[in-house]
Amino acid sequence: MFSPIKKLLLIGLLLFSTAFPASAIPGSEDFDLNRARLLSFILRGQINQNHYSQKPIDDELSKAAFDLYIKQLDGQKRFLLKEDAEKLQAFSSGIDDEINRGRLELAAVGARIMALRVAEVKKIANELIDKGFDLTVDETIETDPEKLDFCKDEQELRERWRKTIKFQVLVRYLNMLEDQESAQKAAAEKQEKPKDLKTPEQLREAAREKVRGSNIDFFDRMLKETEQDHYDRYFNAVTRAFDPHTNYLPPQSKEDFDISMSGSLEGIGATLQEEDGYIKVVRVIPGSASSRQGQLQAEDIILEVAQGADEPVDITDSRLRDAVSLIRGKKGTEVRLTVKKPDGTRLIIPIIRDVVQIEETFVKGTILNEPESGKKFGYIRIPSFYRDFKHNYDGEGRNSTDDMRQELETLNKAGISGLVLDLRNNGGGALTDAVSITGLFIEKGPVVQVKNRNGRINILSDLDPQVDYRGPMVVLINKFSASASEILAGALQDYKRAVVIGSEHSYGKGTVQTMADLDTNLPFINLDKYRPLGAMKVTTQKFYRVSGESTQYRGVVPDIILPDPLRYIEAGERYVDNSLPWDTVDRTNYSRWTQSDHLAKLVGQSLARVENNQEFKDILAETERAKIRRDQTLQSLNIEVVRKEREDEKKLMSKKGNSPQGHGAMTLAMDTEDLENKPELTEKERQEQWLEELAEDPYVGESLHVLQDLTEQAKPDAPVLVNQNPATTSTYSRP
């Protein structure tokens, strides 16, 4: 901690030291460098005082921050030349000195270079569009920026943009051609004469002009970026170098965060983040418009946004707030998202904006019959661990624990022989409910250990001996089961209370973040003129299972691993830059539900079924195809090749009857007429549809088989005490 005198001296140094002249950077008239220096000082203090890792701000951290910064600046390698990257590289090990001394130069230099390059590329792009393209030439474009280097000169940059714009024109032309063919077909069915038919040449010219307009908007948007925008990205890169969940939120981003946390649910219902020049989907909210439409998924990258039938806007290399402003809209309006799937497929997804159907976000249960044995098994899905803290203490608030208890009471009365607890795609929520829901299935004991930066461990325990359900259990997880859902699954696995089945691992998000309003950390009143400064989300704690293993990085590894269509999707902490490592602490005192271990037999029985199950065979085959598609990043620019790819993909879509998993970088648009005209389902119809989906879900089906195997085994033995640990315990009672 700094003494007040040292703080005063440091602030003076920050506010009056000389640095790179702001006047040399375009658009710097309204930029206040003193504010940036102050912000740098406050961010550094927040990190030093609060971040869990206690990483020093040194050369190693500087290099990590620089890698993130250059990806944010030009992640697609479409603007900077190699000489520009080398000039910026000179700052790579000096970011720590910039932050510590208040001499902030990298962001200013980066802003100046990018402004010049964007202006140059805008001119190049217009010249290329004027010249036109030969769509019959056999050539390819590399779609993976990781496999590209920065262009060595303007000639190479021009060639990269020639291929980029040619692909844009090719895709737009094929979309327009297919739309016209669909219109002709519809007119023929109605025995009407088609209207406004265009020749292929006219369509190609129209496609070229549409791409021209889209690119003009794209470049103008980039040229409007201010020097403050560049500093905001710079600060975010510095904070993300500590771990991926520590972020700087400028005032506008903080406002967007506050809106999302306050329950403003109108829109498409998806959480987005800016990553390496892309806008990526982090989570689709249960019950939202995106969830009901069904095609948008976590890890999708949004490339373009269109308002209904309007021309799409390219949002690659855009700020997150700009992308969000395009995607948001009033209930009942349509937005069309062009997304790139993790396997390289491009898909146009139409979504009718709406509010979240609240009932779809709550715990939901039903009874499923196992056809071979005739037994009844319970099924409960937990979309998230929700809790209305505002009204919880007056008895009016709804929470996932109470809803879970009610579902268990209903299922117990029905006489179920086993229970499937579905945590797939559950991104977490209230830690309170992860602990208390665990307590519904164990007599009492520790559930999770929480360690702070000083090494102090609090153990959150369930102290209520009541068990709401005592029968056999299976817990379903996948790669998008994260945070609180990993705590629940890990605890039930450690207690040997349930068999966990699903993907090779869960997400591995085992950290806790705290939001700090930076305006509350101004050291002197006379600095109020620099408000608002925004906020900082900082990682302060880490989760550990009762067995002592962290849920961070590795996640929860199931007892039974099933074929996974997401196997080759790099989703999880292990794939994210600068994620905190996996480690262990001491075990706690806890009593296992059973000392018998039938797991090896269960695994063998499940493996035999899966090997003979056609649905799982199809999933394995599609997974291998997805891996091939992901690795094939060269996209043809020959119109006949691309046309054939699109036709083959449509056939595959028709055969699979679900969302496309295409080849290379094609763009497919679904027919949305039925979607837009489809009436809202009644509650009864939604329930029937849900039950049909469960009946066709191979993972739920295998869960029932595992439960059947469990019921045929011996009854659970008496609990057995495991290990000793003197760690501090926090008492906890279920609400």
10-57 pLDDT, tens digit per residue, is: 434 333 333 334 444 445 567 899 999 999 999 999 999 999 999 999
Query: Using 50, 70 and 90 to split pLDDT, how confident is the model at 655?
Result: low
Res 560: pLDDT: 98
Q: What's the token pair of residue 663? A: 């080849």
Q: Is residue 431 within a helix (H) or strand (E), and if so which, with residue range?
A: helix 431-439
Nearest alpha-carbon partner for 405 in 365, 377, 359:
365
DSSP labels, 432-459: HHHHHHHHTTSSSEEEEEEEETTS-EEE
Query: 10 Å Cβ neighbour count for 487?
Result: 28
The answer to whether 510 and 456 are in contact (CB under 8 A) is no
Res 396: pLDDT: 62
By mean pLDDT, which of 61-70, 250-259, 428-437, 691-700 is the weakest? Answer: 250-259
**Is pLDDT larger for residue 299 or for residue 389?**
299
| Helices 59-74/82-89 angle, 10° precision | 150
**3-state secondary structure (DSSP) of residue 539:** strand
Bond into 342 cis (ω within 30)? no
Which amino acid appears at position 654 of this protein?
Answer: S
User: What's phi and psi for 303, nearest 5 deg?
Assistant: -95, -40
| DSSP summary character for residue 285 | P
In angstroms, what CA-CA distances link 236 with 68, 108, 279, 536, 538?
9, 15, 15, 9, 11
Query: 10 Å Cβ neighbour count for 15?
Result: 15
HEC readout, 376-414: EEEEEECCCECECHHHHCCCCCCEHHHHHHHHHHHHHHC
Q: Flag whether pLDDT at 305 surpasses 60.
A: yes
| Mean pLDDT over each residue of the chain, to the nearest integer | 87
Res 187: pLDDT: 84
In angstroms, what CA-CA distances link 321 with 17, 229, 265, 351?
32, 11, 17, 19
426-438 pLDDT, tens digit per residue, is: 999 999 999 999 9
Res 285: pLDDT: 87
The answer to whether 54 and 453 are in contact (CB under 8 A) is yes
Q: Flag whether pLDDT at 335 surpasses 60.
A: yes
By mean pLDDT, which of 14-23, 112-121, 447-456, 612-621 is the weakest? Answer: 14-23
The answer to whether 461 and 445 are in contact (CB under 8 A) is yes
| DSSP summary character for residue 295 | -
By mean pLDDT, which of 17-26, 185-194, 245-254, 517-526 is the weakest? Answer: 17-26
End-to-end CA distance of the chain: 39
534-593 pLDDT, tens digit per residue, is: 999 999 999 999 999 999 999 999 999 999 988 888 899 999 999 999 999 999 999 999
Q: What is the mean pLDDT of residues 283-311?
A: 90
Instruction: Give the separation between CA 655 and CA 700, rounded to whole angstroms.
Output: 22
User: What's phi and psi for 204, nearest 5 deg?
Assistant: -65, -40
Q: Flag whether pLDDT at 653 surpasses 70.
A: no
By mean pLDDT, which of 259-263, 487-491, 696-700, 723-727 is the weakest? Answer: 259-263
Res 257: pLDDT: 53
The answer to whether 426 and 476 are in contact (CB under 8 A) is no
673-685 pLDDT, tens digit per residue, is: 444 455 667 878 8
Res 675: pLDDT: 46
Q: What is the mean pLDDT of residues 63-74?
A: 96
The answer to whether 506 and 492 are in contact (CB under 8 A) is no
382-424 pLDDT, tens digit per residue, is: 999 998 866 555 556 789 999 999 999 999 999 999 999 999 9
Query: 10 Å Cβ neighbour count for 357?
Result: 19
Q: Which residue has the tokens 């964007």?
A: 118
Q: Which positions ≥6 away from 337 have C-beta within 8 Å?
A: 268, 296, 302, 304, 305, 306, 327, 348, 349, 351
Instruction: Give the separation between CA 183 and CA 195, rounded to whole angstroms.
Output: 8
With pLDDT > 70 as the criterion, what percentage of the chain qualifies?
86
Query: 10 Å Cβ neighbour count for 144?
Result: 14
Nearest alpha-carbon partner for 102 in 231, 241, 201:
231
**3-state secondary structure (DSSP) of residue 206:** helix
By mean pLDDT, which of 338-347, 448-457, 699-708 is the weakest? Answer: 338-347
Instruction: Give the separation between CA 660 and CA 625, rounded to whole angstroms.
Output: 12
Res 192: pLDDT: 86
| Helices 106-131/59-74 angle, 10° precision | 30
Query: Using 50, 70 and 90 to split pLDDT, how confident is the model at 265?
Result: very low
Which amino acid appears at position 616 of this protein?
Answer: F
Q: Which residue segments constitute the domains of the chain, with CATH numbers given? A: 1-244 (no CATH), 363-510+550-598+697-730 (3.90.226.10)
In angstroms, what CA-CA distances link 66 with 19, 76, 535?
19, 16, 21
155-200 pLDDT, tens digit per residue, is: 999 999 999 999 999 999 999 999 898 888 888 888 888 888 999 9
Q: Flag whether pLDDT at 495 surpasses 60.
A: yes
